[in-house]
Amino acid sequence: MELLNDYEKRILELLIEKDRTLSEISEELGLSKPATSKYLKRLEEEGVIEGSYERNREGRIVRYSLKPFHILLSVDPEERILVYLKANESLDVSYPFLGYIAQREFRREIKEYPSEVARAGFDKCMVVLYGSVAKGTAHRKSDIDLLFLKDSWSKREKERILGLLVNSSNKCSHRVDPIFKT
């Protein structure tokens, strides 16, 4: 989603207070109904608001309301990096990129498996999600492919991680397929 213009920001502020109709929003903004409708349509297309039909004395009206969404924007001008994320559920700052996982049913488990390993306190271990879940093509029978990276792995460390993953699998409906690389 592009950055919001002033009218779109004002619309969001109005909808935070309460759900409103096109006429109410138009009047508050001091804009014509067609101009207001243009901004509402853009916010609807971006998945930020939704309109639902209601019957009244004159016929049908559309009442607009906010949809749950969260936005994370991070800009690092020195490194020339811009990170933008829009999610349809609460943002977990420990896992800010979960919103990129297309299948919601995998998100909790993607947090569960690495969290269990993190509690074990391994030094300098990186966990990378890859495969169908990362690509957004997973289905209900897909497993979760995790790559564990570290400078060096002892047999004992690998066994410990495998044991932790087995413990986590009792709480999850998708199995994990770990690979260890240095």
Q: What is the pLDDT of residues 131-141, one digit of tens each?
A: 888 888 888 88
CA neighbor of 162 nearest in space, from 152, 176, 172: 176
Same domain, 60 and 125: no
More confident residue, 159 or 78: 159
* CATH code for position 36: 1.10.10.10
* CATH code for position 134: 3.30.460.10
Strands 176-181 and 81-87 come out as unpaired
Domain that holds residue 55: 6-66
The residue among 66, 85, 110 that closes a domain is 66
> Is residue 115 a contact partner of residue 146, using CB atoms and an 8 Å limit?
no
Mean pLDDT of 114-132: 82
| Residue type at 113 in one-letter notation | Y
User: pLDDT, tens digit, for every residue of 32-74?
Assistant: 999 999 999 999 888 889 999 998 888 899 999 988 765 655 6
The predicted structure's pLDDT at residue 70:
56
- The DSSP call for residue 84 is E
Structure tokens at 13: 């502020």
39, 43, 44, 47: CA torsion to nearest 10: 170
For residue 74, being part of any structural domain is answered with: no
